[in-house]
Amino acid sequence: MPKEKIYYPQTIDNQPLPNQVEEASFATSQTTGNQTFSTQKIKNQKIPSKRVAVELLSSALNTKTRKILVEFEFTEHGAIQVGKYENGASGDLRFTPNGLTARNQSGITTFAIDGDTGNAVFKGSIQSGSLITGQVIVGNNTWIIDGDSDHPKIILYKGDVPQIVIGDPN
């Protein structure tokens, strides 16, 4: 078997292009026009400090009391999430242009308000000092309290048949 041939790179000396002056060496001092020039050491530069939005912080957010002082607007797709959902550890609350939702640490939605329809769903109890409403339907249409019509009434059903009617049934 023939011995392998080894190739070595060729060294080419730098040559200036035509009509080009060779670059000066800055490692030593040079004399030109009766003046001597030498290299100078560049002073150390400080790393720029981080700029903080002072105007926003002072006029919109109070960092000492941790309070928001003014109204903020969000972009069309903007939203706020409070908390970070972690299964079994913590729930979260989300404000979006489509509504408001909250879920507990088990991932169950505990309340939701639909921004388009106004429908609201609550998992727990609702308490109020007073309630003003039109028609109240309890269960699967088994109790109807209708204070919204011209003839207010309370109807209790058994199946599809009204069993108790208080007020005008028409």
pLDDT digits (tens, 9 = 90+) for 83-114: 989 999 999 999 888 899 999 999 999 999 99
Reference 73, options 53, 97, 92, 57; nearest CA is: 97
Question: What are the pLDDT tens digits along the chain (170 aa)?
Answer: 678 888 888 887 877 777 776 665 656 666 677 777 777 778 888 888 877 666 666 678 887 888 888 887 767 777 888 898 999 999 999 988 889 999 999 999 999 999 899 999 999 888 889 888 888 888 888 888 888 778 888 889 888 888 888 987 67
**What pTM was estimated for this model as a whole?**
0.47
As a whole number of angstroms, the distance between CA 64 and CA 62 comes to 6
End-to-end CA distance of the chain: 112
As a whole number of angstroms, the distance between CA 110 and CA 82 comes to 15
Q: Contact 155/165 with Cβ under 8 angstroms?
A: yes
Domain ranges, ordered by start, for the chain: 54-122, 135-167
In the three-class reduction of DSSP (H, G, I as helix; E, B as strand; rest coil), residue 86 is classed as strand
Q: Contact 53/45 with Cβ under 8 angstroms?
A: no
